[in-house]
Amino acid sequence: METSVSFGSAPPLAPSLVEEEAEEEQDHIKPPAAAPPRPQQAEPLDRRSAIQGAAGAAGPEAAGAPAAAGTGSSSPGQPAEMREEQRLMRLRSVVSPGEPRSKYTALEELGRGGFGAVYRALDASAGKQVAIKKMTLEEEDSEELAVNEILAMRDNRNPNIVVYLDSYLVDEQLWLVMEFMDGGTLFDVLRAVYLEEGQIGTVCRQCLLGLQFLHSRRVIHRDIKSGNVLMGMDGSVKLADFGLCAQLSPECSRCHSSVGTPSWMAPEVVRGEAYGPKVDIWSLGITGLEMVEGEAPYQREPKFRVFELIERNGPPKLQNPRHHSALLRDFLRCCLQADEDRRWSAQELLQHPFVTSGQPASSLTALVISAKQAQEDWRGEACV
Ligand code: 3AM
């Protein structure tokens, strides 16, 4: 695994509370009890802005066009049909030929999003389950976003990133086949049960390993949130949904486009400033708050108000800080530094005692099982 993060010289670290307060009692730990009602999963900003913003600001290597994707981008002066045909050609050049409908059987819908729907299916020849994300290609630029996601997953293999298996063009749809994560999203788990601090540390450690890997390869995920973190019954935690990610390059080391999901967006993104990989660390801090409080700050507010609040209030705070350990508070503070230079990197945060003292991954198994059970119970109640 690569360990060096090559985005300029090491920043000064945020002052740490750890030494002063590490001895404090951890009296807040809760059993995996049922959680109260949560808001619905938040959608990211219009995905098309990822392409448009980057094309205008940072050139073809920013959002929507990883370096490995080749040039492929079409000129705005061309007729619309020609541009569309070029985009389709580019998509055809990355997907596999062939007919996936005979290879993957017993499709069962898992959930839907702005992109289309995700299904569980059986790969009969391999005798294993897979997840298939079927993306509709009706929207302008949807092919570019699909190519972005395929290449980002295909070219960035890591134990903490959902494994890309294959992709196909089927009529007007793009099928992205990936490993099936039997625990569902972290968002779904948080809707059902509380996490103990040790379990939050474990989830953060696994997300940070994925982020450290991505950042060392100059990839920014740009939409880190509980809804894009997948869990396995074995306690594995993996980053998913790479549709908005950006590939930086030596010539283009910053992004400009306003991309992400409002409550999780870093202040520099909200302000429309140039930004780097540490936007993912801010979003991870917000995901940490989700794990503690059950939902992200300002998640129930309208989008425009969320931006105002992020700008005005600075880093969001825990509702009851004294209910949580000094280590957890310090970890969140290191992630949620408004000043990007003072915000810790993924590599630095992997050394933070909150992360190093987290429980083993296997401690998440009971949690995922409890969440699944709660979801089954809800479904049962809804059917009565
Ligand atoms: O709609 P919910 O949250 O129930 O868990 C993901 C989400 O479910 C599931 O698809 C839904 C829409 O994103 N999902 C996505 N990728 C998955 C994968 N690789 C997955 N489930 C299992 N494995």
163 CB within 6 A, ligand 1? no
Contacts of 72 (CB under 8 A, 6+ apart): 65, 86, 87, 90, 147
User: Can you give the pLDDT at residue 29?
Assistant: 36
Please report, in tens digits, the pLDDT of each residue of the chain (384 residues total).
333 222 233 334 444 444 444 444 343 334 466 666 667 777 777 554 443 333 222 333 333 232 333 333 445 567 777 777 787 888 889 999 988 999 999 999 999 987 889 999 999 899 999 999 999 988 877 888 899 999 999 999 999 999 999 999 998 899 999 999 999 999 999 999 999 999 999 999 999 999 999 999 999 999 999 999 999 999 999 999 999 999 999 888 899 998 999 999 999 999 999 999 999 999 999 999 999 999 999 988 988 899 999 988 989 999 999 999 999 999 999 999 999 999 999 999 999 999 999 999 999 999 999 999 998 888 777 776
Domains of the chain in sequence order: 7-46+183-378 (1.10.510.10), 73-179 (3.30.200.20)
What 3 state SS string does the chain have?
CCCCCCCCCCCCCCCCCHHHHCCCCCCCCCCCCECCCCCCCCCCCCCHHHHHHHHHHCCCCCECCCHHHCCCCCCCCCCHHHHHHHHHHHHHHHCCCCCHHHHEEEEEEEEEECCEEEEEEEECCCCEEEEEEEEECCCCCHHHHHHHHHHHHHHCCCCCECCEEEEEEECCEEEEEEECCCCEEHHHHHHHECCCHHHHHHHHHHHHHHHHHHHHCCEECCCCCHHHEEECCCCCEEECCCCCCEECCCCCCCECCCCCCHHHCCHHHHCCCCECCHHHHHHHHHHHHHHHHCCCCCCCCCHHHHHHHHHHHCCCCCCCHHHCCHHHHHHHHHHCCCCCCCCCCHHHHCCCHHHHCCCCHHHHHHHHHHHHHHHHHHHHHHHC
Q: Which of 166, 223, 280, 330 is catalytic?
A: 223
How many A from CA of 163 to the centre of ligand 1?
A: 14
What's the rounded Cα separation, in Å, for the pair 210 and 236? 12
User: Can you give the pLDDT at residue 4?
Assistant: 29
User: Can you give the pLDDT at residue 88?
Assistant: 81
| 27 included as an active-site residue | no
Contacts of 7 (CB under 8 A, 6+ apart): 215, 218, 253, 276, 277, 345
What's the rounded Cα separation, in Å, for the pair 262 and 299? 8
Which atom of ligand 1 has the smallest separation from the CA of 227?
A: 3
How many A from CA of 162 to the centre of ligand 1?
A: 11
Which atom of ligand 1 has the smallest separation from the CA of 179?
A: 19
**What strands, in cross-sheet order, belong to the sheet with 229-231?**
184-185, 229-231, 237-239
User: Can you give the pLDDT at residue 75?
Assistant: 57
118 CB within 6 A, ligand 1? yes
181 CB within 6 A, ligand 1? yes
How many A from CA of 332 to the centre of ligand 1?
A: 27
Phi, psi of 45 (to 5 degrees): -60, 160
Q: CA angle at residue 241 from 105 to 355, to 5 degrees?
A: 120
User: Can you give the pLDDT at residue 319?
Assistant: 94
335 CB within 6 A, ligand 1? no
What pTM, to 2 d.p., does this model score? 0.84
Do 175 and 118 meet the contact criterion of CB atoms below 8 Å apart? no
Q: How many CB atoms lie within 10 A of CB 305?
A: 12
Query: Two tokens at 53?
Result: 């913003």
| Pocket probe mutation, ligand 1, options 107, 118, 231, max atoms within 8 Å of Cβ | 118
What's the rounded Cα separation, in Å, for the pair 333 and 349? 11
Phi, psi of 170 (to 5 degrees): -125, 110
Residue nearest to atom 8 of ligand 1 (CA): 111
User: Can you give the pLDDT at residue 19?
Assistant: 40
